[in-house]
């Protein structure tokens, strides 16, 4: 590893310069790469020499993105995928076998919940959920066949924070793999591998892109585990497009700066919401009222860009709030420069039963705001006028 600091690595890590001596890396929009002779081709396929072969598994733009995130997270190896869900599925698919058990946090992104509850059981892989509010649940939940602990921290959308260090120690003690979906914090704010995790993964679609343009995923971690994930992805094909990788890699150059500003803006909104009489509760990792505030302060350098609050009452209150928003976007994404308002009960988590939603902390009045980079006076004005319309219900 070179000696550069994280922010320099994010900017200066680059694919090899070509004979044209370009300053900004070009896009390698090619399906495959050529060889001088059959011996070179044989050696590349055998892994005796390192060459780009075929963009389903090796491409300079994709490798550049993986390398940046690898360095930022302090990992041994990394691999990028087509989407965040491809990163989640390649990790679970590569590392778990029939009969294995996964221990996971209860509040999870909806599609990860679907993989655990609907897809992996087809291959005899079971799971148990643990509440973030019950840290004892992790050691109590370990079974003889537990292969892996899977968590998000902060979680989406409940914004629970899970203490990484004791979980890393438990994973080491019990010889299980700790996987952290680090999407909401990004390596700019939190580096799970330094606290004992074996794998850190991302939906690069979110803050790594940061402008809502392209999809992508990244997995980084110990060399042996990433090799298994790479082999799985190489054969099953969730390849990241070189175009998307180029966009994402450029965005990584401003990730630290953007995360600092997202966090500052989100804190401002969270404090404003807490002082307002309408929301019943406000959740943001760096608000002292957050149940895991002390943990967040210890393991994150700032609170990130996602704030949630609950409106007392029914689904109607949540919908009225959404319908009253004038400037912020109503869209499924998060981590954009533009502030995004969403209502998990009627959208991302609508497929869950009411009981399941309650269990993961999604009440009918829960609103998630992914705070963007606009002038906060405009965001707060928009939220304020929407809250007034809810109060009038
Ligand atoms: C925490 C988390 N993990 C994974 C994903 C899935 O990422 P993608 O949409 O890139 O597949 C998301 C998407 O919102 C997410 O928020």
Give the domain CATH number at 263. Answer: 3.90.1150.10
Q: Are 253 and 11 in contact (CB under 8 A)?
A: yes
Asked if 204 and 78 sit in the same domain, the reply is yes
Distance 248 CA to ligand 1 centre (A): 15
Residue nearest to atom 15 of ligand 1 (CA): 109
Residue 130 has pLDDT above 60, yes or no: yes
Final residue before a domain boundary, out of 252, 276, 303? 252
User: For 318-335, what is each residue's pLDDT tens digit?
Assistant: 889 999 999 999 998 999
Q: What is the pLDDT of residue 117?
A: 94
The verdict on the CB of residue 154 being under 6 Å from ligand 1 is: no
Nearest CA among 85, 78, 98, 70 for reference residue 1: 70
Answer whether 183 contacts ligand 1 (Cβ < 6 A): yes
CA dihedral of 19, 22, 25, 30, whole degrees rounded to 10: -40
Residues 290 and 167 grouped into a single domain: no
- What is the average pLDDT value for the chain, to the nearest integer? 95
Write down the pLDDT at residue 2: 66
Mean local confidence (pLDDT), 257-270: 98
Domain harbouring 61, CATH code: 3.40.640.10
In this structure, are 50 and 199 located in the same domain? yes
pTM above 0.85, yes or no: yes
Q: Which of 183, 186, 192 to mutate to test the pocket of ligand 1 (most atoms within 8 A of CB)?
A: 183
Atom 12 of ligand 1, residue of closest alpha carbon? 203
* 200 close to ligand 1 (CB < 6 Angstrom): no
Q: Is the dihedral of CA 13, 19, 23, 25 positive or negative?
A: negative
**Residues 90, 238 within the same domain:** yes
pLDDT of residue 325: 97
What pLDDT score does 164 carry? Answer: 98
For the chain, the helix, strand and coil percentages under 3-state DSSP, each to the nearest 5:
45, 15, 40
In this model, does residue 276 exceed pLDDT 60? yes
Give a yes or no: residue 297 inside a domain: yes
Task: Specify the pLDDT at position 132.
Answer: 86
Hey, which of 152, 156, 349 would you mutate to test ligand 1's pocket, going by the most ligand atoms within 8 Å of its Cβ? 156
Q: How far apart are CA 64 and CA 76, in angstroms?
A: 15
Ligand 1 mean position, distance from CA 85 (Å): 6
Whether 212 and 344 share a structural domain: no
If we measure between CA atoms, which residue out of 58, 42, 61 comes closest to residue 233? 58
Burial class (CB in 10 A: 0-12, 13-18, 19+), 290: buried
CA of 18 to the centre of ligand 1 (A): 34
Q: Is the pLDDT of residue 36 over 90?
A: yes
Query: Does residue 269 register a pLDDT over 90?
Result: yes
Tell me the sheet residues that pair with 266. Answer: none
pLDDT digits (tens, 9 = 90+) for 144-200: 999 999 999 999 989 999 999 999 999 999 999 999 999 999 999 999 999 999 999
Largest CA distance in the chain: 76
Name the one residue in this structure whose structure tokens are 């402008």: 211
Q: Which residue range(s) make up the domain with 348?
A: 255-391
3-state secondary structure of 214: coil
Contacts 24+ apart (CB under 8 A), 246-250: 246/25, 246/27, 246/61, 247/209, 247/213, 247/214, 248/65, 248/80, 248/204, 248/208, 248/209, 248/214, 248/216, 249/25, 249/61, 249/64, 249/65, 249/68
Give the distance (Å) from ligand 1 centre to CA of residue 276.
30
Residue 99 lies in a domain: yes
Smallest CA-to-CA distance from 82 within 220, 215, 272 is with 215
Per-residue pLDDT band for 391 (boundaries 50, 70, 90) equals confident
Confidence of residue 257 (pLDDT cuts 50, 70, 90): very high
Is 1 inside a domain boundary? no
Q: Which residues contact 319 (CB under 8 A, 6 or more apart)?
A: 343, 346
If asked whether residues 292 and 384 sit together in one domain, one would say: yes
Last residue of a domain, one of 252, 281, 300: 252
Q: Is the pLDDT of residue 1 over 60?
A: no
Is the domain of 20 the same as that of 32?
A: yes
For residues 101 and 315, the model is more confident at: 101
| 251, pLDDT greater than 60 | yes
In this structure, of 39-43, 189-193, 274-278, the range with the lowest mean pLDDT score is: 274-278
Question: Do residues 228 and 284 both lie within one domain?
Answer: no
- Domain C-terminal end among 232, 252, 272: 252
105 burial (CB, 10 Å; 0-12 / 13-18 / 19+) is: buried
**DSSP H helices in the chain:** 6-12, 38-46, 60-73, 84-95, 110-114, 136-141, 164-174, 186-189, 223-236, 242-252, 255-275, 293-299, 315-324, 354-359, 376-391
Per-residue pLDDT band for 360 (boundaries 50, 70, 90) equals confident
pLDDT at 348: 81
pLDDT band at 357 (very low <50, low <70, confident <90, very high): confident
Q: Is 152 in the pocket of ligand 1 (CB under 6 A)?
A: yes
The SS3 call for residue 343 is coil
pLDDT of residue 314: 74
Total domains in the fold of the chain: 2
Residue 215 counted as domain residue: yes
How many A from CA of 348 to the centre of ligand 1? 11
Is residue 68 a contact partner of residue 84, using CB atoms and an 8 Å limit? Answer: no
Task: Give distance in angstroms: CA of 84 to centre of ligand 1.
Answer: 5
Residues 33 and 171 in one domain: yes
Quick one: 330 and 364 in the same domain? yes
CA torsion, ordered 56, 58, 59, 64, to nearest 10 deg: 130
Q: Is 40 inside a domain boundary?
A: yes
Phi, psi at residue 95, to the nearest 5°?
A: -95, -15
- Together in a domain, 159 and 15: yes
Same domain, 376 and 348: yes
For the cut 90, the answer to whether the pLDDT of residue 392 exceeds it is no
């Amino acid at each position: 590893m070179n000696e550069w600091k994280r922010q320099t690595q994010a900017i200066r890590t680059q694919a090899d310069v070509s004979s044209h001596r370009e300053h900004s890396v070009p896009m390698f929009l090619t399906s495959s790469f050529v060889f001088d002779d059959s011996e070179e081709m044989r050696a590349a396929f055998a892994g005796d020499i390192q060459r780009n072969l075929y963009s389903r598994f090796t491409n300079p733009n994709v490798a550049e993105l993986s390398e940046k995130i690898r360095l930022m997270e302090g990992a041994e190896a990394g691999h990028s995928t087509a989407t965040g869900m491809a990163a989640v599925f390649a990790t679970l698919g590569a590392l778990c076998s029939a009969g294995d058990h996964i221990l996971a946090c209860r509040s999870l992104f909806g599609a990860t919940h679907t993989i655990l509850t609907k897809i992996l059981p087809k291959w005899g892989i079971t799971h148990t959920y643990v509440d973030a509010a019950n840290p004892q649940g992790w050691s109590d939940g370990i079974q003889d066949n537990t292969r892996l602990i899977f968590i998000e921290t902060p979680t989406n959308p409940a914004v629970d924070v899970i203490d990484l260090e004791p979980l890393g120690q438990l994973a080491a003690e019990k010889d299980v793999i700790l996987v952290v979906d680090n999407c909401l914090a990004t390596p700019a704010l939190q580096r799970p591998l330094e606290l004992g995790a074996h794998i850190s993964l991302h939906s690069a679609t979110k803050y790594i892109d940061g402008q809502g343009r392209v999809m992508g995923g990244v997995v980084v971690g110990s060399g042996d585990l990433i090799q298994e994930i790479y082999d799985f992805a190489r054969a099953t094909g969730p390849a990241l497009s070189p175009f998307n990788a180029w966009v994402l890699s450029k965005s990584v150059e401003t990730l630290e700066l953007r995360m600092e500003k997202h966090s500052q803006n989100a804190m401002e909104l969270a404090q404003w919401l807490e002082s307002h009489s309408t929301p019943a509760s406000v959740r943001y990792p760096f608000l002292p009222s957050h149940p895991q505030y002390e943990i967040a302060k210890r393991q994150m350098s700032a609170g990130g860009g996602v704030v949630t609050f609950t409106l007392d009452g029914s689904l109607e209150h949540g919908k009225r709030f959404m319908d009253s928003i004038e400037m912020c976007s109503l869209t499924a994404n998060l981590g954009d420069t533009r502030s995004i308002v969403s209502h998990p009960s009627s959208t991302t988590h609508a497929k869950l039963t009411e009981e399941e939603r309650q269990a993961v902390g999604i009440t009918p009045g829960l609103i998630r705001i992914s705070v963007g980079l606009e002038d906060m006076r405009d965001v707060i004005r928009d939220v304020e006028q929407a809250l007034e319309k809810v109060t009038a219900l």
